Amino acid sequence: MAITRIGTTARWSDVVIFNNVLYMVEVPSILEVGLRDQTKEVLLNIAKVLSAHGSDKKNILNVTIYLKDIDQIDEFNQIWDKWLPLGSAPVRACVEAKLANPEYLLEIQLSAAVLHTDLTVNFMT
């Protein structure tokens, strides 16, 4: 089986698809806002990437959420709980981490099932 890499640089790929599983990491691009707005932006971008590659947020298999400040988990969860379709919760870890860019308040890494491989297109985040 082929490995599909999308948005590949010398250091990372935006998306990797293998064996009908999509792997991705998303970070905010709008940095001068609080956690609520960074979370909404990241989740919107995740939904776009999933859709562009034949998946959906209800197909997320596992997710690791890195928060700059774990004390903000309740604020994050309020947005996450509204965004994620009921009954489709993935395996999840949420941890506090020192992130690569000090202005990032969160980073999300996930994998999701790809159900419609004929829809896979080159989509750059």
**CATH number of the domain where residue 22 is located:** 3.30.1330.40
pTM: 0.91
pLDDT, greater one: 92 or 120? 92
Q: CA–CA separation, 104 vs 88, rounded Å?
A: 27
Residue 75 inside a domain? The answer is: yes
1 vs 75 pLDDT, higher one = 75
125 in a structural domain = no
What pLDDT is attached to residue 118? 59
On the question of pLDDT at 122 being above 50, the answer is no
100-116, pLDDT tens digit by residue? 999 999 999 999 999 97
Instruction: Report the mean per-residue pLDDT for the chain.
Output: 93
Domain that holds residue 114: 4-118
Whether 104 is covered by a domain: the verdict is: yes
Cβ contact 1:94 at 8 Å? no
pLDDT tens per residue, range 30-71: 999 999 999 999 999 999 999 999 999 999 999 999 999 999
Q: What pLDDT is recorded for position 116?
A: 79
21 assigned to some structural domain: yes
Residues 6+ apart with CB under 8 A from 96: 66, 67, 68, 69, 70
pLDDT at 117 over 90: no
The total number of structural domains in the chain stands at 1
Cβ burial of 73 (10 Å; 0-12, 13-18, 19+) is middle
Report whether pLDDT(124) > 60. Answer: no
Residue 120 has pLDDT above 80, yes or no: no
